[in-house]
Structure 1
Amino acid sequence: MIRSPLPNILLLSVLLLSIPSLTRADLRGDLNKGYELVDQWRIEEADDFVRELDNTYPNSGDVLFLKARVEFFKGDYDTANTILKEVEETEQVVKDFKGLVSRTQKASAKFVTKETEHFRIRYIDGPDEILIHFAEQVLEQSYKVLGGIIDYHPQEKVLVEIYPGREDFSKISPLTLKDIMTSGTVALCKYRRIMIITPASALRGYNWMDTLSHEFVHYLLSSASHNNVPLWLHEGIAKNLEARWRDGEQMTPIMETVLASGIQNDYLVKLKDMMPSFAKLKSAEDVQLAYAEVSTMVDYLIKLKGGTIISSLVKSLRQGTTFEEVIQKEVGMSLPAFQEAWKKDIKSKKLRTIPGLRVLRFEFKKKGEKTPENEEDIPSAFAAIGGKRTRDLVLLGDILKERNHVPAAIVEYEKALKSARSLSPVLYNKLGGTYLQEKQYDEARDLLTTTLGYYPDFPTTLVNLGELHYQKEEMTKAEDYFQRAIRLNPFNPFLHQRLISLYKTTGQKEAKANQEKLYGYLK
């Protein structure tokens, strides 16, 4: 979520006929009202209002510029671009907006649209069509569950756009490629729409379904509050609720660890430093820390005032009341006092610091790179393992394994695991997968279950656990792990093949047919 100020009201005199000063004053007031409607995401009202302005001021470049913004927020980039051709570039804000519209039009030129009951989903026709099956599940369930919590259900169909990679994503958003790579940001809610990078662009996929739900929370908050929720609270509520659609947990082990460490070391991200976006923070570690802070602040709000506090805050902010007044009224204390109370509450929880737990870097594919089926096919996997001694032991294990000396390879991997300073899921899966190859199921299960507790969204762990139970003919457990993995990375052919085989074995004809249809999108 990135907040930006209203554009300056321009009065593009070069495109105006000579009009009386009173009319010019009226125009300025009307433009202010129009921009306010757009900023508050009241786009349907803004659309009607601009039509009235077009009749009142038929030769106004300013009205045309406002009209182009309305069309852009409606998701009609072609119309916005056509209108902007009639507006001269006399001000920087016009040049910047023309550039944004042009880049967005080009980036979305190949999009096709699929509609669900409450959403319009745009994507590039091809393998990404597989995402629609999953996106409809998370979005429609989020509409029901999260809309109920925030007490707001959009009447318009929410626009969702799936972009093919980080390059296009950086062109249509305020984020640079550096921002994206540093923070791991893969989605935004801005311009009254949700924008996300396809998991096909990630080496292992990622938790894109919870990410979609997270951004939908932003959409609800922006719409319901007329864009008056402060950034830290926006992100706190979104992080707190992002897994609620599936009854998931909101505090991950890495979030608990970074927050516990931040409290112990007296290093926290200040609320003012979170502006203008978490994606602009200096490191992935700071991003996780900031999320842990604001999410637990929301937890504390709920602890103090109950679950309805979120909708109460949003309704009060919708009236234009300042946040300082709202928190004093709804919570009974100032923001600084609330933060101090929150710190005291967090310290009382005695959060765990798990030694060796690290923030995992988001890894994008290179252009044209295929989805790797095995961890060994990921070039960066080796570098992510840890120190030099650990990597040397792993390298020796890899050589032995490649030469089919698997028991000897296991010995070296076990040495590597003991020497490792980090709890690398790559190393755990390398050893766990080799145990599995040797049918040492108990050892594999113990190791893989351990690393899953540290990194619950690491796809390779879920794949290996699914395979373990598949080989043991424990099909219910195998299906659960494979389905969890495929929700993170629907582009892994192995998962589809395994599930098709599983459904054939268990006689689930309809499930098998549905899986074959999904697999067909990848061929």
Structure 2
Amino acid sequence: MTPRPSAWRCAALALALAGCGSRAAPAGPNKHVASARSDAPGSIDPVLLARVQTTGPIGHVATASILAAPVDADVWSDLAERFDQAINAWDLADAAEVVAAMPAGSARDVKAGVLAFHRATYPEAEALLAGAVASGQLPPAGALREEAQHYLELARGAQRALGPATRLTSPDGQVEVVFSNAKDELIAPYLFAAMAEARQALGADLGIEPDHPVRFEILDDAVKLALVSPLTRENVYTTGTVGITKYRRIVMVSPRVMLYGYGWIDTAVHEYVHYLVTLKTRNRAPVWLQEGLAKLLETRWRSPDPLPLEPPARKLLAKALAADDLVTFAEMYPSLAMLPSQERAALAYAQVQTMLGVLREERGGAGIDELLRRVAAGEDAEAALATAWGDTFERFDAHWRDVMKKRAAGKPGGALRKLQFLAPEQQAAAEAGEDLSLLGDVFSHLGGGAARQHARLGVLLTLRGHLGPAARQYEKARAADARVRDDPKLARRLGELYLQLGKPARAVPLLRRAGEDDPEQPNLAAAEGRALRLVGDLAGARVALARALRVNPFIPALHCDLAQVATDPTEQQREQGLCRE
């Protein structure tokens, strides 16, 4: 799963729940309208439905009373247990075999509906489950009825969340993405490219690749996550959750509907790690292990080695270690998305990421592989980690604490970047490319005095379109107080103005300074990319523009610069088509 504080852009998450702009891309040969295909999301397979209607469907209860024909209770119990194990491990082929072996009746309908839901044939799942619930043959209370009601609500919720969805398939056929809003199809080529890199890197790291296309569902409202998962609206907003992996699919919120976007590509790969770990361990990995590996490996699509903790997360971890106020494994269950704040979620991610990081550093990929193999075999995850490391878990925990205390000592921190959800009234402005970060008291952190007064006047002049006078006010602010001369927020505003005024050489050092402080701010990264392009540093421009792209690809002008620095003719043509100044 993925709540997304800073250390999270995943929150980023396939957690224990897995067990954890603005212009639509033109329709290509891989585009399918879901309602026009019998195998598309939101459709019923007519052949399968006919078979279900004639033979009946499935369920789990240790009695033959709700079956259409007498059957041995032990036989039914064995079949139901095998089905539950298969569906929990996402082994849909085995689950389907069990369904075929079950006698017709409402109990079988329940299991058939659960299977249909995992296949993402939501109308079929709803028909089977609703029929079983309405049949009067299920017990009035108990696990089977609860299962039927749970999946019936999810099947209906998924259809409401996706609506008249469209679907795109990657050129290699390994990824399919379903969009609840066609505007979000813009992200497809970037997601496909990143997932191709992730598939290769993570296949080597974790020793497993899916034998089926990986399904993504992209939602146009964060609240919709509560329709397709056990999460509540409060869970989503409290921890900033933007992605989950559950029921053999990855569900994410579009960066288009977040105030400043979010690290959506890292989140997609984070969730893909959850997907792989679920397959490799047959869904036996606990939340802390799932999230630790997902956070550790979420950048493998763009880096040969896992990246270190970001400064804000490092600061949170250092403070928690000093105060002995860590998030326990018990608190992480059943999901990091259910923790009480983005800070606690970010801390939890920092803990488990660095724990698995220490194991990987000291025991290599073999250590991670042994850990996962033992968990897949049913061994307790803490004991498995201890064995993979070579001592007791208590000694590993003490060693990890010592390592992280030393690494964090004397290092700078920084403020945690919290995810902010876009309000409806901000949607049009954001899609037009306006920078909403100019709103409010941008320079309150400067305190009182002349520097802040000049800076605030600079903002007012900028908003009124008086760019030259605004730049002069920012320069006066820098001159008024040596302590704020290199302030990154001030550097950003002045650098952006110089860029607009046609002075990219003066803009570059200012924007670079600001970018060092806030590398995940997409508008800032886009401005730095343009300035670098204009001064002839095309390599540097590509790096900065890539930062912007993986946080908010819906900045219209971003694609104009990507078109100018593209080396592939196909990419250049695509970016030119998306360019909007």
Bigger relative contact order (CA 8 A; separation at least 6): 2
Query: What is the deviation of 1:35?
Result: 0.8
Matched with 1:212 is 268
**Is residue 474 of structure 2 the alignment partner of residue 410 of structure 1?**
yes
Aligned counterpart, 1:399: 460
Distance of 2:78 and 2:190 partners within structure 1: 46
Residue 39 of structure 1: CA displacement?
1.0
Counterpart of 2:85? 36
The whole-number CA distance in structure 1 between the counterparts of 2:487 and 2:315 is 15
Partner Cα separation in structure 1 for residue 525 and residue 133 of structure 2 = 55
Alpha-carbon distance in 1 for matches of 2:320, 2:258: 29
Shift of 1:3: 2.6
**1:115 is aligned to 2:155:** no
- Please list the CA deviations of residues 147-176 of structure 1 after superposition, one character each: whole Å capped at 9, or x if unmatched: 111000111111111111112222112222
CA contact (8 A) 2:62 2:74 kept: no
Cα contact 1:257–1:352 (8 A) shared by 2: no
2:416 paired with 1:359 = yes
Letter in 2 for 1:515: E
Q: Tell me which amino acid in the other structure corresponds to 1:235.
A: E
How far, CA to CA, are the matches of 2:418 and 2:407 in structure 1? Answer: 28
Corresponding residue for 1:58? 104
Alpha-carbon spacing, 1:144–1:298, altered in 2? closer, same or farther (3 Å): same
Instruction: Note if contact 1:254-1:454 (Cα within 8 Å) is conserved in structure 2.
Output: no
Point out the more displaced range, 137-146 or 93-102.
Answer: 93-102
1:62 Cα offset (Å): 1.9
Task: Give the superposition deviation at 1:340.
Answer: 1.2
Deviations 1:43-94 (A, max 9, x none): 22111111111xxx222x2221111111111111121111112212633443
Match of 2:122 among 77, 84, 93: 77
Structure 1 residue 46 corresponds to structure 2 residue 95: yes
Q: Distance in 2 between matches of 1:383 and 1:175?
A: 34
Structure 2 residue ranges without an equivalent (≥5) = 1-13, 20-58, 135-139
1:338 maps to what in 2? 396
Q: Which 5+ residue runs of structure 1 have no aligned equivalent?
A: none
Q: Structure 1 residue 68 and structure 2 residue 113: aligned?
A: yes
**In terms of mean alpha carbon deviation, does 209-218 or 367-376 score higher?**
367-376
2:289 to 227, 233, 248: 233
For 1:456-471, what aligned pairs fall within 5 Å after superposition?
456-471=519-534
1:9-33 CA-partner distances (Å, limit 9, x unpaired) = 545887434746xx12321232122
Q: Is 2:64 aligned against 1:16?
A: no
Q: Quick one: percent identity of the two aligned structures?
A: 24
CA contact (8 A) 1:207 1:488 kept: yes
In the alignment, the residues of structure 2 paired with residue 240 and residue 218 of structure 1 have an alpha-carbon distance, to the nearest angstrom, of 11
Asked if the contact 1:149/1:308 (under 8 Å) is kept, the reply is no
Residue equivalent to 1:515: 575
Name the stretch that deviates more: 147-156 or 28-37: 28-37
Give the SS at the match of 1:204: coil
Does 2:211 correspond to 1:165?
no
Residues 177-210 of structure 1, C-alpha deviation per residue, up to 9 Å, x if partnerless?
Answer: 2222221211111111111111111232221111
Displacement, 1:379?
Answer: 6.2
Is the partner of 1:85 in helix, strand or coil?
Answer: helix
TM-align CA RMSD? 3.1
Q: 1:431-450 residue pairs with structure 2 within 5 A?
A: 431-437=494-500, 444-450=507-513
Supply the distance in 1 between the matched residues of 2:314 and 2:78 (Cα, whole angstroms).
49
Report SS of the residue matched to 2:133.
coil
Tell me the residue number matched to 1:430. Answer: 493
Whether the aligned pair in 1 keeps the contact of 2:181 and 2:220 (CA below 8 Å) is no
1:322 is matched with 380
CA drift of 1:427 comes to: 4.9
SS in 1 for 2:110: helix
| Residue matched to 1:97 | 151
2:205 is aligned to 149
**Kindly tell me: are residues 476 and 43 of structure 1, through their superposed partners in 2, closer, same or farther at Cα, counting changes over 3 Å?**
same
Q: 1:28 to 1:415 in 2, by over 3 A?
A: farther
Q: Quick one: structure 1 residues 329 and 517, their matched pair in 2 at CA, closer, same or farther if it must change by over 3 Å?
A: same
Query: Equivalences for 1:127-138 in 2 at 5 Å?
Result: 127-138=183-194
Deviation for aligned residue 1:211:
0.7
Aligned partners of 2:17, 2:472: CA distance in 1, in Å?
58
Q: Check 1:283–1:30 CA distance in 2 against 1; reply closer, same or farther (3 A cut).
A: same
Number of the residue aligned with 1:292? 350
1:491 to 538, 554, 570: 554
* CA distance in 1: counterparts of 2:338 and 2:546, whole angstroms: 34
Shift of residue 214 of structure 1? 0.5
| Between structures 1 and 2, the one with greater helix share | 1
CA distance in 2, matches of 1:109, 1:12: 38
Which SS does the other structure have where 2:251 is aligned?
strand
Alpha-carbon contact 2:60-2:80 (below 8 Å) kept:
yes
Alpha-carbon deviation of 1:220? 0.2
Deviation of 1:486 (Å) = 2.5
Q: Distance in 1 between matches of 2:409 and 2:439?
A: 30
Instruction: Check 1:4–1:508 CA distance in 2 against 1; reply closer, same or farther (3 A cut).
Output: closer
**Which range moved further: 84-93 or 170-179?**
84-93
Question: Could you tell me how far apart the structure 2 residues matched to 1:386 and 1:174 are?
Answer: 40
Range that drifts further, 442-451 or 40-49: 442-451
TM-score, normalising length: structure 2: 0.79
Return the alpha-carbon distance in structure 1 between the equivalents of residues 285 and 442 of structure 2. 38
Distance apart, 1:353 and its partner CA: 4.1
Aligned residues: 508
Listed as ranges, the matches of 1:258-269 within 5 Å are 258-269=316-327
User: Any conservation in 2 of the 1:188–1:195 contact (CA below 8 Å)?
Assistant: yes
Residue 269 of structure 1: SS of its match in structure 2? coil
